[in-house]
Structure formats: C-alpha cells, structure tokens
A and B are shown apart, each in its own frame.
Chain A
Amino acid sequence: MSDVEVEDVIGFEWRGHSFAIYRSPTDTFHATDGTCTHEHAELADGLVMGDTIECPKHNGRFNYKTGEAKRAPVCVNLRTYPVKIVGDKVLVNIG
C-alpha cells in the first residue's frame, strides 16, 4: 500500500500484461489495465486527478474507478479489476 501515494498511480507487470494501481484522494485502491486503450501508453506515467487518470501521451482521460473513457482522443473504456486490501497489501483480482 505504501508504494503508491494518495492521488497517484503505479504500474506493474504480470506475465507480460501491464496493470495500473491507483490510490484515490479518499484513500481507496483501484486497478485497471496498465496501458491506454488509444495508443497503449503506460498509464503509470500519467497523472491522477480526483477519480481521473490522464494518459501521459495524448491527455486522453479515464475514470479509473469505472474505466469509463472521459475525454478525446480516448473513446474505448479501460478494463478495471476488483481489488482487496489484505494487511498492507493490495491484491488485484485479474481473474
């Protein structure tokens, strides 16, 4: 949990697939696919503002809690994953 700051994002890879974990301003944790649905930029290089993650490359935006595409040039929603906090760890269910 301490690896990601409040209102920020980090990325990780598992079996060649990239994921992003977000810590919201109200200290909740969320997870999505790690790359933008537009041109696959790493979202972990982007900025978190409130419920929104900005794609680093072209400033497309998603709601990282719902995955909803919020601003051009992105138009395809982002896949989200359920998370669970166990102790000081964030577990992502990538099912």
Chain B
Amino acid sequence: MIVIVGAGVAGLSAAAALRDMGYGGRVRVLGGEPATPYERPALSKEYLCDPTLGDPPSLASLAALHARDIRLDLGVEVLSIERQRQALLTTEGEEVGYEELLLATGAEPRRLALRGDTLAGVHYLRDLEDARELRAALIKSRNVVIVGGGVIGLEVAASAIQRGCRVTMLEAAPRVMGRIVPERFAGMLEEAHRAHGVDVRTNTGPAAFRGSGGRIREVVITSGAAVPADVVVVGIGVKPRTLLAEGSGLDVNDGVVVDAAFRTCDRHIFAAGDVARVFHGAAGQFVRIEQWEPAREQGRQAAASMLGGEISYRETPWMWSDQYDVHIQATGLGKGTVEVVRGTSLHERGGISYFCITDGRLVSACGASVGTSVARVIRAAHKLIERGAEVTVNQLADPSVDLHRLARAAGSLSGT
C-alpha cells in the first residue's frame, strides 16, 4: 500500500499518477482538511472578488477517485510516523501501514508575533475556511490593511479593491515582490496597484494592532502613524508543515529534505510540493518551491520514484498570478547577471517582460500584460530555459522576435 499524507495538488497528482503508471496496489490519501479537495489558486483571486461564486473547483471529484480505487480520508490528522514498523498513527488512534509513504503536507501562513493579532478582523489566508471568512468580511467601504506585499498580499489587495474596499498595503522591503522579481518589474506592478487605488507603503510594517470590543480598529505602523482598519490580512509568507517529519527524525531544513528523486533519508518515505526541499538537478542546489504547477509536477515525479522509476527532478518552475485585469507569469530560478526588458506597456500585445541571463543562457523571466498575451512570451521563455538555449540580448529585447520560434528551434537542436 502507498499512503499519501496531504490532499492538495501535490498529493492528489501523485495518487492519480500512481494509477496512470499502472500501479495496482492500494492507494490511500489522508487529508487534514474536512473539505473535498479543491483548487487553492482561486481563493485569493476570483473567489474573493465575487461573493456569489460557489466553492472553488475541486481538485478531484470523489467519484473519480472512487473509480480509480483511490481511498481518500478527510479531516485526518497524522500524529506520528512509526518508521521501524512502516506505519502512521492518526489522532483517532488508527494505525495505517505503508510500503511507501509520501509527505505532501504543504505549508501554512507565517504568523505575526504582534500585540493584538488575535483581534477579530485579523485574517490569514491559506485554506477554504480562511477564504470564506475573509470573503464575508470584505464589504464595500471597509478599510482593509494588507501586511506583506508578496503574491498573496497583492492578489488580496486587488480583490479587495474590486470589492470596493479602501486598501492600504504595508511592505517591509523597499519594493513589493522585491525578493523574487527584478526591481523594475516590482516597481511597475506597484504602480499598477497605486493606479487602482491601493495606498502602497514600502519600508514599513505594523507595530501594533489596536482594537475595541475585541475587534480590530486600526494598525499602528512603525513610523507611529495609525491606519484605520476593519479588516487586516497578513500575508508574510508560509512555512512548510514539517512537524510530522521532524517528529520522526527525518532530515528537515526549512522543508523536508529530499534528493532529486524526492526520497528522504528513509528510503520508504518521500516528500513533494510546498513541504519538500528537493535537490534540483539543473540548478545544482536544493530548492523549496511554493507554487501550484511545480507541486503538481513534483507529485507526479515522486509517484514515479515510489514505483522504482529513475527520477531526477530538473523541471523549471513556472507560476501565474492575476491582479485586476493584469495577468502575470514568472518562470525559472535565480536572478542572473544580465537583465533585459521587452515591451513598454502592459496594454500592448505581449505586455512587458524582464529576462535574466547568465553566460548567454536564460535563467529566469517574468512578465505581465492586460489580458493573457504575456503568456506567449513567458511560456516560450520557460521552454528556452528548459532547453538551455543560447539567447542574445537583442533577441529577447525585440518584441518582433518570436520567442516561441526560437524555443522550437532550440528544441529541434536538443531533440526535446
């Protein structure tokens, strides 16, 4: 029997992949949340924007799982891994034996250690329950303060603006999203948010939450000024859910450490998705990625590895975000040594993209456009990175050069 802990995208794509690859043994998925597994990306975007929208799309219908003989148990907390006996203990007292075990427990929001963070109206966003509460709290004319200008903070800011709220964003760094994208790209995004009415304040953060009657009323920022707040959303990153792995003596270092085949130091235990710190063959280093598409891919590859396949993870990460009518994509690892910009406006076909090059090869790219036309650029960049294609600054900077064609040519050279 193969047991998967975690019913998010990594866990369920692993379960599906086991069956796709012809595994005929028992497959059991243990999910911590009570809700039928669902797609998380919508929670900070369309789900928040539109209070009439139903639950987010499901990741896998119960009928489909049943048809593939994948047993799914929801609302199950795993207490410990008994590695000697190859069994899990649940809080219900059940013992679940495994031949191979996949940890896909995901990540959870980092908490602010701040006075007043238990006041009603202070929200974190990770699961459907969080999203339901936040969606109900976002009522027109409310003052919303977002703590953290990362992807989640920016998406929630856009959603709150679209709900008619007044939004203030507090970011500790000089730029939003500054840690993961080129500075100029971050600046452009920041301007887009300002243009939509977000009061973006950088180099600052909350010093205290003040309330009355148990509810948040204002956020005191580090300068001492007070910002009125009916709703606070804290989006300051996530931490991997490694408690189970730590408790059973597995190697943990900001994530469950696994090799390029997703195997922990215990040869019967694997990890994939947000919780895994995996050795990336192409980057030559361990990476922990917090994105939907890599989680899906890692789940599939971990499944192949559990079935004895020779796996060496080297996929180029790729992610998207939607903020207002702006579609954003990013791909690759690392910041490179040369930066190239393509395009001049979010409104033109292809939008604006930034590329990072090292030694004549693309290492990462990000871009944004009104509508989805930037996708052609960034998906092509993704392929150029995967294929290790040589590119010139001029090719990348010239919007009339079709990167898709370049990627195709590189593919036929490398035979992929």
The reply to whether the CB of B142 lies closer than 8 angstroms to some CB of chain A is: no
Q: How far is the CB of A49 from chain B (nearest CB, A)?
A: 8
Once the chains are docked, how many angstroms separate the CA of A41 from the CA of B372?
Answer: 7
Q: Is the interface of B mostly helix, strand, loop or mixed?
A: helix
Given A7-B408, A8-B404; A73-B39 close (CB under 8 Å): yes
Across the interface, do B327 and A47 meet the contact criterion of CB distance under 8 Å? Answer: no
Once the chains are docked, how many angstroms separate the CA of A59 from the CA of B371?
Answer: 15
The reply to whether the CB of B140 lies closer than 8 angstroms to some CB of chain A is: no
Interface residues in B282-305 (C-beta closer than 8 Å to A): 293, 296
Across the interface, do B380 and A47 meet the contact criterion of CB distance under 8 Å? Answer: yes
The reply to whether the CB of B324 lies closer than 8 angstroms to some CB of chain A is: no
With a cutoff of 8 Å between Cβ atoms, the chain A residues found around residue B309 in the complex are: none
Q: How far is the CB of B39 from chain A (nearest CB, A)?
A: 7
Q: Mark A42-80, 1 if CB is under 8 A from B, else 0.
A: 100111000000101111000000000000110000000
The reply to whether the CB of B204 lies closer than 8 angstroms to some CB of chain A is: no
With a cutoff of 8 Å between Cβ atoms, the chain B residues found around residue A7 in the complex are: 408
Q: Mark B194-208, 1 if CB is under 8 A from A, else 0.
A: 000000000000000
The reply to whether the CB of B320 lies closer than 8 angstroms to some CB of chain A is: yes
Q: Is the interface of A mostly helix, strand, loop or mixed?
A: loop
The reply to whether the CB of B86 lies closer than 8 angstroms to some CB of chain A is: no
Interface residues in B354-396 (C-beta closer than 8 Å to A): 371-373, 375-376, 379-380, 383
Once the chains are docked, how many angstroms separate the CA of A47 from the CA of B327?
Answer: 16
The reply to whether the CB of B313 lies closer than 8 angstroms to some CB of chain A is: no
Across the interface, do B379 and A59 meet the contact criterion of CB distance under 8 Å? Answer: yes
> Count of chain B residues with Cβ under 8 Å from any Cβ of A?
20
The reply to whether the CB of B318 lies closer than 8 angstroms to some CB of chain A is: yes
Once the chains are docked, how many angstroms separate the CA of A44 from the CA of B405?
Answer: 15
Question: CB-nearest residue of chain B relative to A73?
Answer: B39
Choose one: B41, B318, B376; the contact of A46 (CB below 8 Å).
B376
Across the interface, do B13 and A72 meet the contact criterion of CB distance under 8 Å? Answer: yes
Once the chains are docked, how many angstroms separate the CA of A42 from the CA of B374?
Answer: 12
Q: How far is the CB of A7 from chain B (nearest CB, A)?
A: 6
Question: CB-nearest residue of chain B relative to A46?
Answer: B375
Once the chains are docked, how many angstroms separate the CA of A93 from the CA of B223?
Answer: 66
Given A8-B404, A42-B371; A72-B296 close (CB under 8 Å): yes
Once the chains are docked, how many angstroms separate the CA of A46 from the CA of B371?
Answer: 12
Once the chains are docked, how many angstroms separate the CA of A54 from the CA of B372?
Answer: 13
Across the interface, do A56 and B13 meet the contact criterion of CB distance under 8 Å? Answer: no
Interface residues in A20-43 (C-beta closer than 8 Å to B): 41-42
Residue pairs across A and B with Cβ atoms less than 8 A apart, 15 shown, are: A5-B405, A8-B404, A41-B375, A45-B372, A45-B376, A46-B375, A47-B380, A47-B383, A56-B373, A56-B379, A57-B320, A57-B372, A59-B293, A59-B318, A73-B57
Q: Told that A45-B371, A45-B375, A72-B13 touch, could you supply 10 new A-B pairs with CB distance under 8 A?
A: A41-B375, A42-B372, A45-B373, A47-B376, A47-B383, A47-B404, A56-B375, A57-B320, A57-B372, A73-B57
